[in-house]
Structure 1
Amino acid sequence: MLTLLDRYVLRLVMTPLMTTLGIAALLLILERMLRLFDFVVNEGGPVGVVFEMLANLTPHYMGLALPIGLFLGILVAFRNLSLSSELDALQTNGVGLGRLLRPVLMLALLLMAVNVALVGWVQPHSRYAYRGLVYDLRSGALGASIRVGEFVEIGDDTVLRIEESHNQGSDLRGIFVERRDSRGSIAVSADRGGFFATSDEQTVMLRLYDGMLIDLNENQMKPRVLSFDQQDLTFRLPTGSTFRDRLGEELEMTLPELYRHQHDSSLPPESRQRMEANFHWRLMHSLTFLVLPLLAVPMGITNKRATKATGFVVGLTLVIVYNELMEAMETLIISGHSPFTTMWLLFAGFTILSLYLFRVAAYKVGGDPLAWVNGIWSSIKTPLIRTTRRLIGVKD
């Protein structure tokens, strides 16, 4: 049962947590949206598919934003508690950091469960769906539009060119069609026309107005020329090949599938190693949620008389370096190293460091886990400023 204190701490954490998640997701989605619009337009696909692709990418972005959101939410909350003297008042009344950590760990446990669902099941299926959409765009299975001013092949025997397109493609101008067969070819030009659906989903009809048809048959001495007011041509749309099945790579496998396939002796050793590396990465990525509060709390505590942002800098640096090392350990596992002497050893070191920093802040009188950082900065700050001023020509 959550007490009033627990709810208050969670409320302090949730505001920066949700803000961080919103900003991170917005930046990532906007950056990818621009590239997707460019890709879809170049492939001639419908613009609406961009939002479907972004929806399939959202679980991936949430997996990236959740850990940093949790870390910053806790850090900002405890920094505010320190600066407002509320933390001093709580500790004076016997409420230590260990007690304040309880609701934060509960939140971390909940987010860890969400992350397990994301990386274990949601992301593999959404990644497969996203790549399926990319495949459909490139193969034309999404009904890519005809590019104006270009010669476009429709199947193996027809070439089409359109000068102008109006009313979202329903009114076409300056149409040229060439259709080839075993006897020769037929060339058709028309002032205007439009596509119409038929009862067969694989067949469309192009209705042409005010045009000319030239029949270039090898059996004829000279081509036949026909002028028409209206002419209908049917096109058999090319049948796109089927996208591959899921499980084509380890990123599209769920956690149970990864665990099962990494022990499949029928697979190549490199494939099994990639699956093993990704399996352990997902586990460690999820368990890190329980360690982040132990690091964020001491990084957030600060002296209200010296409101330095050392905790932000050091904390974010540690999280970023840890994440980069995680990816490096995954590469080592793929190359044949044991996950327990690489990735799990890194996780153990990160956990021990976080526990030590939290212990200094929580149980050592006047403990400041960043005192050595502030000491180093104080000793080099003045010479560094003087050197910088001298280099840029500013007098003291």
Structure 2
Amino acid sequence: MLRVADRHVLKQIATPLAAAMAIGLLMLLSERMVRLLDTTLGKKNSFAVVFEMLAYLVPHYLGTAIPAALFLGLLFGFSRMSANSETDAFMAAGVGLNRLARPVIVLAALLSLASLFVFGWAQPYTRYAYRAVVDEVRNVEFFYLAEEGVFMQSGSRTFILDTLDRNRNAFDHVFIYETGSNGSSKTVTATRGSLIEVAGQPRPILRLESGHRLDFGEKPLYAKPGTIHPEVTEFAKADTPLGEIDKKLFRPRGDDERELTLPELFAQLDTPPKGTSAPAMRTEIHKRLVNAVSPLILPFLALPFTIGGRRQRRAYRFGAALVLIVAFHEIVEQGSVAAHSGAISPWLAMWLPLGVLSVFAGWRYYSACFTVNPDPLDAAIDRMGEKISAARNRLLGRLGWDVAS
């Protein structure tokens, strides 16, 4: 009987949990995908780069999606059981709410361990990989930025191409103007050209054909009259490596605290990297642990909001529950910002809100599972919901709309 009850409860929770997880990830990744397309559009293999970057962002968004999906799954699952009188039937059979909550408490513990892995190990590695791809995209050479008939600028280069064939990495009628640090300048025109990638070489080769090159050793404006001797060169074919050798490898991982795993944070707490500080390191440790522990509280917090009440009243309880969990998340985020600067202790900024939420959830859970007295908070939420419904009905009535009783 009990195993059947456990499976039934998990089945009721699983569907809304999985749906919330999938929808949440898709929405978050879709929003980021639009920005990534703006960054990579026009570059070689831009769609492949976008999907690679999105894959690196999955652990980042999983940290938010796991507790949110668990909380919504608990709310919808137990609410459906309560609306269908299944919880009443279980209680009549001697299976109390505390026993029904046991499988979801185990599920929350497993998701808490998964969150610990995501925050402690997966996010630092994927964040570094994402930043490495962003650096590579931002330092891409001009050919991947070019558009036909449009003046473009990449670093010190200004260029325009008449026609462009990305499939063959070729273009026709190119004009390139490049300035140097000492005021010098180079102007190159060519009838056609192509970009050649050599296997094993860190830099592609820009090959220009049937062109002219004009070099000024110094800026003409500041040169003395009669001393300007530009160098003019005609060429049938010219090969030039693009980019810089030192751009081949991105910096090592660990530039700041967000790229360090949990063991690395503890090991380097007294000797933080140059890009961070000891308070920032401590704050990062506390924030990751708080986020990993948070799913353990959600079953105790969600279940009391789903028991009893009419369908309309449960909707207001859902709203109150969501406002509560969003407020907690925002308090932790703002607390971490304050602790990051050393203005406040992480224990006070993050663990205190977690402790207050835990006590509140424990009190509500105990009242729902082990007492018969009505919960004063539920009564307050129901009264507020009735006032909101009455105000809405009055407004709709004044607008001339029929209001269902």
Specify the TM-score bucket, using the shorter chain as the normaliser: 0.7 to 0.9
Q: Where in structure 2 are the equivalents of 1:114-193 lying within 5 Å?
A: 114-140=114-140, 144-148=144-148, 149-150=150-151, 161-166=160-165, 168-176=167-175, 189-193=189-193
Contact 1:120 1:282 in 2 (8 A): yes
* Aligned with 2:270 (options 258, 263, 271): 263
DSSP-derived class of the 1:165 partner: strand
1:258 Cα deviation from its structure 2 partner: 1.7
Q: Where in structure 2 are the equivalents of 1:29-44 lying within 5 Å?
A: 29-41=29-41
Q: Is 2:339 the counterpart of 1:333?
A: yes
| Alignment-mate amino acid for residue 172 of structure 1 | F
Q: Is 2:234 the counterpart of 1:251?
A: no
Partner of 2:223: none
Partner of 2:288: 282
Q: Where in structure 2 are the equivalents of 1:1-396 lying within 5 Å?
A: 3-41=3-41, 46-140=46-140, 144-148=144-148, 149-150=150-151, 161-166=160-165, 168-176=167-175, 189-198=189-198, 201=201, 202=203, 204-206=205-207, 208=209, 211=210, 213=212, 231-239=236-244, 240-241=246-247, 242-264=249-271, 271-304=277-310, 308-334=314-340, 335-365=342-372, 367-368=374-375, 369-378=377-386, 381-382=389-390, 385-386=393-394, 388=395
Structure 2 gap ranges (5+): 218-226
| Alignment-mate amino acid for residue 166 of structure 1 | D
Partner of 2:221: none
1:339 Cα deviation from its structure 2 partner: 2.5
Contact 2:141 2:154 in 1 (8 A): no
Structure 1 gap ranges (5+): none
Change (3 A) 1:359 1:161: same
| Alignment-mate amino acid for residue 347 of structure 2 | F
Give, in whole Å, the separation in 1 of the partners of 2:283 and 2:214: 63
Change (3 A) 1:297 1:395: closer
1:215 Cα deviation from its structure 2 partner: 6.8
Change (3 A) 1:236 1:171: closer
1:139 Cα deviation from its structure 2 partner: 1.8
Among all aligned residue pairs of Structure 1 and Structure 2, give the percentage whose two residues are the same amino acid: 30
Change (3 A) 1:53 1:200: closer
1:354 Cα deviation from its structure 2 partner: 0.6
Change (3 A) 1:195 1:392: same
DSSP-derived class of the 2:196 partner: strand
Change (3 A) 1:179 1:292: closer
Q: Deviations over 1:154-178 (max 9, x none)?
A: 9x8x875421112535342222357
Change (3 A) 1:273 1:88: same
Q: State the number of aligned residues.
A: 386
Contact 2:193 2:206 in 1 (8 A): no
Q: Deviations over 1:321-350 (max 9, x none)?
A: 110111122133233322333322211110
Change (3 A) 1:103 1:316: same
Contact 2:195 2:206 in 1 (8 A): yes
Change (3 A) 1:359 1:151: closer
Q: What is the aligned-residue RMSD (CA, Å)? A: 3.7
